[in-house]
Amino acid sequence: MEKHDFIPEWLEREPDQQTFRSIFKWGEKDRFKHPAQGFYTVIKEALGLSNVDFQTPVNLGAKSVENTLKTTISPEDIILFETIVGRENLFLDTYSRLKYSTGKSMEDILHLRQGKIEDISDIVVHPRNRADIIKIVALCHEKKIPLHVYGGGSCVTLGLTCPKGGVTLVMNTHMNKLIQFNEINHTITVEPGMMGPEYESLLNHAPERLNAKRRYTGGHFPQSFEFSSVGGSTATGPKINDIMKGSEGCFGVLVAVTMKTFFYQPGTARQFTFMFPEFEIAVKAAQQISQAESGMPSILRVSDSEETDVAMKMYGLEGSLPDKYMGFKGLKPGSRCLLMGQTDGEKYFSKNLFKQIKKICKTNQGLYLTGYPMKKWQKGRFSDPYMRDALNDFGILIDTLEASVTWDRLQALYHAVRDYIKKQPHTICMTHASHFYAQGTNLYFIFITKMQDVDEFRSFQRGIIEKIEENFGSLSHHHGVGRMMAPFMEKHLGKNQMDILRAIKKHFDPHNIMNPGGLGL
């Protein structure tokens, strides 16, 4: 009989310096989060595990990264780079090279946990300004040395690995400054290494810090907000007017980005949560909201039933009074789905949009659960990624993949991917849509399974990408391409469109030194 009061010894200790763990650990080194007992129980059941499986952690990555790997760049060339940025901004040690060649995909983390050092850069350079970058790019071009760009390091698509070695530019060390705030045009121009919290704080405190008349917000809060830089935007290839955006370092190095700003007026925000009898109906409501022409909510999220059930347990709502009421209303676990979100903007715009959303949801059998669950989600969402470390310590893998899809293809894509994932025994698959447009939305798949072998995991994940591709999902809605999606780009975009990217690549980078192989180029 399974003991119900067993609590795993979640490892919540600051990693030692220079260890593999200090590289892959999420976020602040002294912040941790482990699954609540409700979620722990879900995982055990779904993955077919017992308390025994949570007695001995595995692959903690506690070893130090040994400084054994020689750089392949010649001493003469290293001196040339030093001359540009100064000795204090250039690093050749294995730890630095590994750190800045690694992102946050499950595959990155598995490699680090296993002490694997592969596909890393030869030199880590922290450029101080645009002038440094111009010189570095020219030097790399001349010497045919590959060049990679590291922003905040939150990449989940293997975008930071350096299969051909070369130089990695770290942008968030020095190139993180304000360039210009333009209150008349509602824009701000910053260096691309500025991190999310600093960016948002600048705008929120615009009167004090920017001498502005009002407070502003960037209005952009990815879950990686605290640990990602502003430089990463859009996915699946570049646009021509902003040809650098989405080019993932294949065409050049971004040295400044201008973004729209919005009024910071938290007082006008209204949160809402609804429970629907099933996913298809919840999606239909979200579609109607997106096509209602009454403006768009700033946050909207529809969870499928598996994610909804986990959420109910994670937040300790299972068996609660609201849960019983839902059951009474016919909203049962295994089928019911959460829709939640927030309206923002001018006071009465936000108020009316909130009203219209309520109307649409009620027409579609949605039960209003107040704004409380939404507020609770908002509070926890930035700390949820810390949980991955805790689960990984016991060999449980978590990763995500996401795709854009038009409304008419959504259900087919959802079922194809979900069926594929659920074929893997003892696997959790939680799905939600989080970005909405009149023409479609995205589907965000979170999969949790126990697996140790990187190759097995990789082939499982590649299978998901294939399902997305077959069902007319885009390869990415917002994560980007990286080396994970790169092999699928040609099939996804088609030869004609890839040939255009190749022509542009050749134009910008005839020696193919800029993130070679990135975007599939």
Report the residue from 177, 239, 324, 381 that binds its own copies according to the rule CB under 8 A: 239
**What H or E segment, with its residue span, contains residue 219?**
none
Please, what is the minimum distance in Å from the beta carbon of residue 10 to its own copies? 43
Q: Which two tokens stand for residue 86?
A: 């100064």
For residue 158, give every residue at least 6 positions away whose Cβ sits within 8 Å of its Cβ, in sequence order, or none.
103, 105, 107, 108, 482, 483, 484
Tell me the window of 28-36, 66-74, 96-104, 185-193 that interacts with its own copies (CB under 8 A).
185-193
225 sits near its own copies (criterion: CB under 8 A): no
Tell me the window of 6-14, 162-170, 237-245, 456-464 that interacts with its own copies (CB under 8 A).
237-245
Considering only residues 49 through 108, tell me which ones interact with its own copies, judged by CB under 8 A: none
Hey, is 409 helix, strand or coil? helix
Nearer to its own copies, 289 or 486 (CB): 289
Taking residues 436 to 475 in sequence order and writing x for each that binds its own copies by CB under 8 A, - otherwise, the string is --xxx-----------------------------------
344 sits near its own copies (criterion: CB under 8 A): yes
CB atoms closer than 10 angstroms to residue 180: 11
352 sits near its own copies (criterion: CB under 8 A): yes
- Counting residues that bind its own copies (by CB under 8 A) gives 42
For residue 188, give every residue at least 6 positions away whose Cβ sits within 8 Å of its Cβ, in sequence order, or none.
178, 180, 181, 182, 199, 202, 203, 216, 218, 258, 259, 261
Q: Which two tokens stand for residue 308?
A: 């909804």
Taking residues 258 to 287 in sequence order and writing x for each that binds its own copies by CB under 8 A, - otherwise, the string is --x-xx-----------------------x
Nearer to its own copies, 310 or 403 (CB): 403
**Sequence-ordered alpha helix ranges (H) in 52-169:** 75-85, 94-99, 106-113, 130-143
Nearer to its own copies, 174 or 511 (CB): 511
Report the residue from 407, 436, 447, 460 that binds its own copies according to the rule CB under 8 A: 407
Residue 70 and residue 123 in contact, taking contact as beta carbons nearer than 8 Å: no
Closest residue by Cα to residue 236 from 44, 492, 505: 492
CB atoms closer than 10 angstroms to residue 153: 20
221 sits near its own copies (criterion: CB under 8 A): no
Please, what is the minimum distance in Å from the beta carbon of residue 340 to its own copies? 21
Report the residue from 4, 70, 379, 507 that binds its own copies according to the rule CB under 8 A: 507
Alpha-carbon distance of 373 to 354, in angstroms, equals 16
Q: Burial code of 189-222, b = ≥16 C-beta within 10 A, e = fewer?
A: ebbbbbbbebbbebbbebeeebebeebbbbbebb
Alpha-carbon distance of 70 to 21, in angstroms, equals 22
Residue 59 and residue 106 in contact, taking contact as beta carbons nearer than 8 Å: no
The gap from C-alpha 260 to its chain's centroid, in whole angstroms, comes to 21
Tell me the window of 98-106, 197-205, 236-244, 375-383 that interacts with its own copies (CB under 8 A).
236-244
Tell me the window of 2-10, 124-132, 238-246, 447-455 that interacts with its own copies (CB under 8 A).
238-246
Please, what is the minimum distance in Å from the beta carbon of residue 265 to its own copies? 8
Report the residue from 101, 102, 356, 404 that binds its own copies according to the rule CB under 8 A: 356
Report the residue from 329, 332, 355, 415 that binds its own copies according to the rule CB under 8 A: 355
Please, what is the minimum distance in Å from the beta carbon of residue 249 to its own copies? 16
Hey, is 190 helix, strand or coil? strand
Report the residue from 75, 334, 348, 455 that binds its own copies according to the rule CB under 8 A: 348
Nearer to its own copies, 6 or 349 (CB): 349
Residues in contact with its own copies by CB under 8 A are: 182, 184-187, 237-241, 243, 260, 262-263, 287, 291-295, 344-346, 348-349, 352-353, 355-356, 406-408, 438-440, 499-501, 503-504, 506-507
